[in-house]
Structure 1
Amino acid sequence: MAAPMVPPNAWTGMAAGLAVEELETELLLEAVFQRFGHDFRAYDRQALRDRLARVLRTLGARTLSGLQERVLHDGAEASRLLRAFSPAPAGLFDNPGHASRLRTVLAPSLRGWPLPRVWIAECAGVGEAWTLAIVLAEEGVLGRLDIHATLANEELVAEHQDAWLPLAELEAARERHAGSGGTGDLAAWFEIEDGKARLQAQLRRRITWSQYSLVTDASFNEFQAIVSCHALADFGPVLRQRVLRLFHDSLARFGVLCLDQPLSVADAHAGSYQAVAGERPWYKRVG
């Protein structure tokens, strides 16, 4: 059966609609950059459309132009939009396979360094940072370690610095913790009060939360490991290369790099890395 014919004027209308949407997107991103200093202009276009579509549904806005007006004039609406571009919060030990690799790849690589530093770039909240801290404590390397957890969203950084989790989330993570190779009682690493749980102070002190943009900021330290599980998939090709150069400038030789997407031969400094076998892309810098 032949496909129905689409009238030429329908194609013209569809093209015009896409052109208007693209123009609205560009104007919104420019407005966000000029007003709030957050630069999403080099993000992958499909990733942008998906996120903006979710924001439109959540806020009940009909068009991106209408969303732009609300964002520029309402602080609460701006906050919701900016949060939509941050990584979704990760649960405690939400990926036992990844946590297991932290034990088998990351922890051994840090033992040979006198004062190792780990950077979690675009950290997915306290679930990701606390999981890392607990794993490294259980593997005996946390006592001489600095963990730097960064996010572009300054509002989220402030929230994570003194965060608590509902006790139910800690209970739900017990099985995942055991599945990652954890031993002992997960709750032993937490302070529990009024139905809430917070990582022990001795571990929290090892985590420095700070505002940092992968899009605009320069290298700020040398690290023995960089973990970036929530960034590259959102970035367009130019921004991807920019961030990979940034990671290379920030990673010590023989340090390890964990990414959310594998490197390709065309990527910046790809020849400087040796892949570490496993499910998620891990690399050791050898050049």
Structure 2
Amino acid sequence: MDAMTGFASLQATEDLEIELLLEALFQRFGVDFRGYDRHLLRRKLLALLRQRALSTVSALQEKVLHESGAALSVVRTLAVPSAPLFDRPDWVRRQRIALADSLRPTALPKVWLAEPAGVGEAWTMVILLAEEKLYARTEVFATLASDELLAELRDAAVPVAQLAEFQPQYEQSGGTGRLADYFEVANGEARLLPRLRERITWAQYSLVTDASFNEFHAIVCCRALADFGPVLRQRVLRLFHDSLALFGVMGIDRELGATDAFAEDYQRVFEDGAWYKRVR
């Protein structure tokens, strides 16, 4: 067997091992990554193997099935990584404008934040809504596929020292006050004020398998879609279309293409950036 043939055989074996691991995660723990982009999954899983000093994906699957905490470690590796408050200020500035313009005419707006990048993304959105005088009548539904990750985010906090660190990003996104004013501090940790936290409904929901569960005036999914394979991406775009009210806005990871599901039903909110208004 020459080197090229040997490499192809090894990769084929790894491909099979990855499929079996994804099936095990779904069958045993109900978390479905089977429709995710295989190149990205492979990269993340091989990095986890090196971190845990494991030689094969099969060895990782053995731990997932028999070692406490191993499955959560894999889920955390494959899920959307956490992002800090007011990460990507240019995106947040567009979000501020899009949500304010779309939600202000609505009596009781609902916003769906699908697979957010930790509490940082959810708290950023709620602070924007507060500054636009919308938080008191807007409900944010933040959904994740993993119950374990969901439980962590419900009671999450950030080190209080990070609030000063994130102040410049907050200002670059259009904020004009003190970021720290939106938080309560105890034992060196900062949590969003209770009156703001109560506007977030955290819920378990799978973009892969679940059906539309409400009508929303805004949908934001700017991280997870990038990890999806082409079939799953189209499935989720159809789901968002079914869930978005007429004239509602949608913020996603990249611009819609001509072949994307229901692309003709949207118009751009900005000249650049993947924010869209549903117009039919």
SS in 2 for 1:258: strand
Query: In the alignment, is the contact (CA less than 8 A) between 1:83 and 1:153 conserved in 2?
Result: no
Helix, strand or coil for the counterpart of 1:65? helix
Distance 1:160 1:86 in 2: 13
1:193-214 deviation line (CA, Å, top 9, x unaligned): 2211111111001001111110
Instruction: Give the counterpart of 2:229 among 233, 236, 239.
Output: 236
Shift of 1:278: 4.8
CA distances 1:50-82 after superposition (whole Å, capped 9, x unpaired): 111121122221100111111110121111001
| 1:70-81 correspondence to structure 2 within 5 Å | 70-81=63-74
Paired with 2:77 and 2:190, the residues of 1 have a C-alpha distance of 26
Runs of 4+, deviation exceeding 3 Å: none
Instruction: Indicate conservation of the 8 Å contact 1:92/1:128, yes or no.
Output: yes
- Flag structure 1 segments of 5+ consecutive residues without an equivalent: 1-7
- Following superposition, the deviation at residue 168 of structure 1 comes to 1.3
Pick the aligned partner of 1:25 from 11, 18, 24.
Answer: 18
Q: How big is each residue's C-alpha offset from its partner over 1:214-233, in whole Å with a ceiling of 9 and x where there is no partner? A: 00111110000000011111
Distance in 1, Cα, partners of 2:102 & 2:248: 7
- Closer, same or farther: CA 184–78 of 1 in aligned 2, 3 Å: same
Q: 1:261 maps to which residue?
A: 254
Show the counterpart of 1:117: 110
1:157 to 2:150 alignment: yes
Name the TM-score, length of structure 2 as normaliser. Answer: 0.97
Q: CA deviation at 1:90?
A: 1.0
1:80-229 matches, cutoff 5 A: 80-229=73-222
**Counterpart for residue 249 of structure 1:** 242
How many residue pairs align between the two structures? Answer: 280
Residue 286 of structure 1 is matched in structure 2 by 279
Structure-1-length-normalised TM-score = 0.95
The RMSD of aligned alpha carbons is 1.2
- Aligned position for 2:264: 271
Bigger shift: residues 272-281 or 38-47: 272-281
Is contact 1:44–1:236 with CA below 8 Å preserved after alignment?
A: yes
* Greater Rg over alpha carbons, structure: 1
The percent identity for this pair of structures is 57
State the one-letter code of the partner of 1:49.
Answer: R
Q: Distance in 1 between matches of 2:56 and 2:134?
A: 51
Q: Is the 8 A contact 1:223 1:250 kept in 2?
A: yes
**Structure 2 gaps, min length 5:** none
